[in-house]
Chains A and B, each alone.
Chain A
């Protein structure tokens, strides 16, 4: 089953999406881990998280977005422009960051989809912000209902929350296994499993993941680990980056990534008003530096991970032109030094053109950790 999950994450659209579409059902793209997928699920549609994957040529999107845009956004746009995302019936943009918002702008001007909606995500986690987000989600639901002639009820939402909470619980179990002294899976494998969650029907995924967990638990533990590492920073939607790290002998045992632990860490409260519960849970989930008043909680999330997963060193990777993680350096690197955890700060591009340089630096970092252990 684990191989089946890897396969689902490798290509998109995968066969599960194709089957879904063949049944006449809709697929809606979304752009950020702060997006409450439960809403799409409750509308009877499939939420599919947009990613750039292993897109290596961005000729068309470079011409449109310029080289001053992050290569993640450019890769996503390239795939939109070359038809890879032709299976989408709609797209929900978010102002998670300027680049994602501009990706949405370019997408709707260049390749219009039948349904397009921009959902404002507050930059602040507060009571007013949660109430604001709740309203934004309700407006989105109205748009979906109108566009697709569907009805989203509180019961559907509660059911969706239950299904997604099950995913969260299962993925927490997966991460629990990574705490072992000799974990049974690599960081790259773990990320593939998470990526699959964002790109296939959720009930089917949960079933596969339950079976995969049984397989993983009975699998061979990984030995000869030179260093237990944590990856922090910009969005990574392709396990190749983590594989480069692990090829040097380190094992990525945890992360603070939006395609990683930050995607699923906390469950959504399934009592009371589901929209308020979704707004509150998503705004309060482990943080991206986009949230203006949550830098200390982000740092605490990282340090809790370091302690719980016995992390020897952190790889702080920043996508070029990712202002949020680039700017976070000012505070985070100072705090990590004070916390006395070794860290390696790396700049990277989506297409990993500097893979060899990254490998060399990671190897040196691991040697440095080994010397200190």
Chain B
């Protein structure tokens, strides 16, 4: 394998090559990758332009960082994006096993492998919140302490209520003071307002797309649900708005024409857990092979979470606190099981799902521990049997595409 000196440069170059290829061969698909390309190129260029880079995790709204004029890199996006590059992700997973046990989540292990190999320039600072799971809670502070990266932690409790929002908002304000000191950048109210306006557009589009997806037949393919995870690092950018707007327009057009994303929709699958990040094309295969579409997954973006007064600092921080809690998986991972159950219930009640698959990521031990409760709830309330099997969503060496397809095929044949 070619030696890599800078994984960000590698991602930026790879996405640019992918875009070049797609532009020549499938120009109609350019929009799918434009936002991702912009994301990686921006981070890569930030170094060259002397703009501070701040690492964060999925529970920290990147809007805050964009508003400060720093360039955010969401570490969860780094690993989930890299999962598609199997040789590379395997290399970093192997490196991570020198430092942490194999049961730590691969989302975090890939990051550990990258940083411990020295294949990424260190950031000016790091900020992370306590969602969504123990693996994240321990990995990010460990990385920061081990590499002496200035860092700030935010305690995000499971309480999705006013008191919880204010608690988190107070810490986000402290985080700004910390980042101002570390990066020399200042949070400007008007810049914040512009970024929040963009993020409001994104959240509004997420909500509208989620509504469209309730339609039978489902107007949009399942793969987009996985691709939407780029929002973890891009909320607040016009590029994300553009990406979501295109999804919305395509979906709306399909609904108007009473068409689905498939010629014939046979099944509506409730996907209960993470996408298979190492091959998100598995859902394309399900659609093609069985006419089985994913209208929504249990972790998908659905709520609007709009911040109405973008010039009111307190309202903005409280709104960001809400968003911190409602990031897909965060709340369900950190809270009593009822939150996951409610999310699953919506899939059957509102999205008319008739099939359930729990392809449980082995790193998500907190979901596995209540998987049986969820499965029983789905059967008791909706009479639907859930296919349960384990995968490592980022490591095809654990269970590969063929095995996953066989399990799904057997299940689909059984339920008819």
Contact = CB atoms under 8 A, between A and B. Distances in A.
Given A123-B155, A129-B155, A293-B153, A73 B369 contact: yes
A282 to B, nearest CB: 15
Interface stretch (A81-89, A142-150, A196-204, A322-330): A322-330
B52 interface: no
A324 B134 contact: yes
B153 A328 contact: no
A295 interface: yes
Contacts of B308: none
A290 B137 contact: yes
Contacts of A99: 134, 365-366, 369
B112 interface: yes
Contact of B100 (A124, A321, A326): A326
B362 interface: yes
Interface stretch (B80-88, B142-150, B267-275, B284-292): B142-150
Nearest to B141: A292
A330 B372 contact: no
A118 B157 CA distance: 12
B138 interface: yes
B33 interface: no
A101 B155 contact: no
A179 to B, nearest CB: 29
A310 interface: no
Interface stretch (B24-32, B180-188, B331-339): B331-339
Contact of A330 (B133, B142, B366, B370): B142
Given A105-B336, A330-B112, A66 B130 contact: no
B372 A64 contact: yes
Contacts of B104: 323, 326-327
Contacts of B400: none
B368 interface: yes
B383 interface: no
Interface in A332-371: 333-334, 347
A65 interface: yes
Contacts, number: 147
A122 B137 CA distance: 12
Given A290-B134, A292-B130, A330 B155 contact: no
B207 interface: no
A331 B142 contact: yes
B134 A66 contact: no
Contact of B362 (A68, A101, A118, A320): A68
B138 A324 contact: yes
Interface in B115-157: 116, 128, 130, 133-135, 137-139, 141-143, 145-146, 153-157
A63 B128 CA distance: 34
A69 B133 CA distance: 13
A120 B158 contact: yes
B348 to A, nearest CB: 19
A296 interface: yes
A49 interface: no
A126 B366 CA distance: 26
A106 B366 contact: no
Interface in B323-377: 333-334, 336-337, 360, 362, 365-366, 368-373
A103 B103 CA distance: 19
A331 B135 contact: no
Given A66-B372, A118-B336, A132-B157, A98 B138 contact: no
Given A118-B336, A122-B155, A292-B130, A323 B135 contact: yes
A347 to B, nearest CB: 7
Among A99, A320, A327, residue most surrounded by chain B Cβ atoms (within 10 Å): A327
Interface size bucket, A side? 35 or more
Given A68-B362, A123-B153, A102 B337 contact: yes
Contacts of A330: 99-100, 112, 116, 139, 142-143, 146
Nearest to A324: B138
Contacts of B135: 323, 327
Given A68-B369, A69-B369, A73-B369, A98 B362 contact: no
Contacts of B373: 64, 105-106, 109
B101 interface: yes
B51 to A, nearest CB: 27
A1 interface: no
Contacts of B100: 326-327, 329-330
A119 to B, nearest CB: 11
Contact of B139 (A63, A98, A327): A327
Among B101, B128, B134, B370, residue most surrounded by chain A Cβ atoms (within 10 Å): B134
Interface string B69-91: 00000000000000000000000
A97 interface: yes
B162 to A, nearest CB: 13
Given A64-B372, A105-B336, A128-B170, A323 B365 contact: yes
A289 interface: yes
A318 interface: yes
Nearest to A124: B155
A321 B365 contact: yes
A69 B365 contact: yes
Contacts of B138: 289-290, 323-324, 326-328
Interface string A162-191: 000000000000000000000000000000
Given A98-B133, A120-B159, A326 B101 contact: yes
A320 B103 contact: yes
Interface string B28-41: 00000000000000
B200 interface: no
A38 interface: no
Interface in A285-316: 289-290, 292-293, 295-296
B167 A106 contact: no
B171 interface: yes
A177 B333 CA distance: 44
B145 A331 contact: yes
Nearest first, the 3 A-B pairs at minimum CB distance are A327-B138, A102-B369, A98-B366
Given A103-B369, A292-B130, A318-B101, 20 more contacts: A64-B373, A66-B369, A66-B371, A68-B365, A69-B368, A101-B366, A105-B370, A120-B157, A122-B155, A123-B156, A124-B171, A128-B171, A295-B141, A295-B145, A296-B145, A320-B101, A324-B134, A327-B108, A330-B146, A331-B146
20 contacts: A66-B371, A68-B103, A68-B368, A69-B369, A97-B134, A98-B133, A99-B134, A103-B369, A105-B337, A106-B370, A106-B373, A120-B159, A122-B157, A123-B156, A124-B155, A132-B157, A292-B155, A321-B103, A326-B104, A327-B142
Interface of A: 63-66, 68-70, 73, 95, 97-99, 101-106, 109, 118, 120, 122-124, 126, 128-129, 132, 135, 289-290, 292-293, 295-296, 318, 320-321, 323-324, 326-331, 333-334, 347
